[in-house]
Structure 1
Amino acid sequence: MDKNLKNKLKELFSKKGFYIALFLCLCVIVAVGTISYKKLSNKNEVSNSEDINKEITMNVDDNQKTATNEMPNAERAQNDADTSKQSSEKNKTDNSKTQKSTTVATTNNVKFLNPVDGVESRTYTYPKPVKVEDNVFRTIRGVNVEAKIGTDVKAAADGVVDLVENSGVEEGVVVEIKHANGLKTRYGNLDANVSVKQGDKVTSNQVIGKVGNTAKVFSQDVFGQFLNLQVIDANGQQVNPEKYFTLKAK
């Protein structure tokens, strides 16, 4: 009886020991699994955080590179605009200087041959009026050169006949010649039978007509017999003929 009891107890304890050992093993496995899971989770979080930080860093770097690339382009665009503006202003200045030089070249240091051999009977006063009769004053262009009716009138320089007309009682029959330097010479109080027509090319000292009496506004008692001589610059303005002709003083 006692022997059977002992065997039963021994058998019971052997089974409980097995279950206890099994339970302890399961606890160890669970504990190890839990620890491993937490470590793995932490590692994944760190990895995700690093990826996010890396992406942010790359975006920032890309933005900085873009900004860096854009800035020189903007500066170059501004520099190009400034250069274009400076070039345009320089061209305008150069053109202005060229035009000014051209105007000066066409109106200065030019001498013509006298169209008739006579003294200057009326000097240049334009636009100041000139007394033509008692209490009668007129604005007269150019100068008068004393010359008898029928005297040959010669071209002062090479050129092209720009105008032939009877301008009326003030200037009478006139011939206007355009010269290569931009100036025009105008010959008034000519005889109606002129020797040239509009468009003709003339040479220096070529006869273009004769002194007449077609400028009826002028009394011969006051002005005598004369050739009216004018000079017009490249801008169409009257110029004192004394600057271009060597005229004899009366």
Structure 2
Amino acid sequence: MRINRDDLARFFDRKGFYLILFLCIVVVAVTAVYVTNNNLKKMAELNTAQEKLSTTNANSISKNLITEYPTTNNSSSAVKEESKTKVENTKSKGVVSSNKSDASSVSDNAASTKTQENNALNTMSNNVSVSTEAKSENDTTLSLIKPVNGDVAMEFAVTKLTYSKTLDEWTTHKGVDLKARIGTDVVAAMGGVVTKVYNDSRLGNTVEIKNGTYITRYSNLDENIHVKVGQAVEKGSVIGKVGNTAKFEIAEDPHVHFELLKDGTYIDPMQYFK
């Protein structure tokens, strides 16, 4: 069959656009199929690799567990076996030694019993001595008298908090406040030497008396202080009068702020009042 070039040219003029469009669609379809197949293949390979990695990790963990616990058990068994062997050897040696020197063992046991009796007697003697010393020390425990004869307005609170009317907050309190009218005589709770007479910015006019490892402080006094630094005072002697000079306790009832220290540590004076 002979193809006429003119007819072919007219065909492409009329149908050429559709033919080119068809070819483009075919190319796009083939490309899409190729890319999709390629992506599916890569995803399959990735899943396979992840499964292999998970299996390897699981096997590794299982292997570690299997090799760890038997080792511990074996060590424990070895220790038990070694202890058992030592006990058996000790028992064996003891039996042999006992069979060889029964008379010597009886003598040693008697001597040991005598030694234990002597040690017990010595221990009892030491305990009696310690008990006597402790009792003697307790008999000489510090004894204080109240600086003023009044009730407690604010208690000792170092390891806890107490409410302050003046500060309107919960705070610590290193001494006790004993109620008394302004002008009431304040006496020395213990004998000693006056080491300080000063005005505290918080607690007002203050007198400090020292006796050995103990220190007593008397605050919120008026201006009429009866003692001076270096003066020896006796228990019960007047050192001043109740005032109203404690700025941090100005809202409280009239009182004496009293502190007790032992070796520099604040302690509750209420347990020493007699």
> Could you tell me the TM-score, scaled by structure 2's length?
0.47
How far has the Cα of 1:128 moved from its partner? 2.9
Give matches, 1:58-69, under 5 Å: none
Match of 1:242 in 2: 270
**3-state secondary structure, aligned to 2:270:** helix
Q: Deviations over 1:77-132 (max 9, x none)?
A: xxxxxxxxxxxxxxxxxxxxxxxx9xx959x7211121111111222111433322
2:154 maps to a residue whose letter is R
How far has the Cα of 1:137 moved from its partner? 3.4
Contact 1:127/1:141 (<8 A) preserved: no
In 1, the alpha carbon distance for the partners of 2:221 and 2:159 equals 23
Match of 1:48 in 2: none
Contact 2:148/2:187 (<8 A) preserved: yes
Contact 1:167/1:173 (<8 A) preserved: yes
The answer to whether structure 1 residue 142 and structure 2 residue 175 are counterparts is yes
In 2, the alpha carbon distance for the partners of 1:173 and 1:129 equals 24
Q: Percent sequence identity over matched residues?
A: 36
Match of 1:119 among 144, 147, 151: 151
The answer to whether structure 1 residue 226 and structure 2 residue 258 are counterparts is no
1:192 maps to a residue whose letter is E
1:189 maps to a residue whose letter is N
**RMSD of the alignment, in Å?**
2.5
Contact 2:207/2:218 (<8 A) preserved: yes
In 1, the alpha carbon distance for the partners of 2:194 and 2:137 equals 22
Structure 1 stretch 236-245 or stretch 131-140: which is displaced more? 131-140
The answer to whether structure 1 residue 109 and structure 2 residue 141 are counterparts is yes
In 2, the alpha carbon distance for the partners of 1:156 and 1:144 equals 14
**3-state secondary structure, aligned to 1:109:** coil
In 2, the alpha carbon distance for the partners of 1:151 and 1:126 equals 27
Contact 2:147/2:189 (<8 A) preserved: yes
Contact 2:155/2:173 (<8 A) preserved: no
**3-state secondary structure, aligned to 1:129:** strand
**3-state secondary structure, aligned to 1:139:** strand
**3-state secondary structure, aligned to 1:242:** helix
Runs of 4+, deviation exceeding 3 Å: none
In 1, the alpha carbon distance for the partners of 2:217 and 2:137 equals 20
How far has the Cα of 1:156 moved from its partner? 1.4
Match of 1:202 in 2: 233
Change (3 A) 1:194 1:243: same
Gaps in structure 1 of 5+ consecutive residues: 1-100
In 2, the alpha carbon distance for the partners of 1:216 and 1:114 equals 23
Aligned residue-pair number: 140
1:140 maps to a residue whose letter is H
Change (3 A) 1:216 1:115: same
**3-state secondary structure, aligned to 1:162:** strand
Gaps in structure 2 of 5+ consecutive residues: 1-132
Match of 2:217 among 182, 186, 204: 186
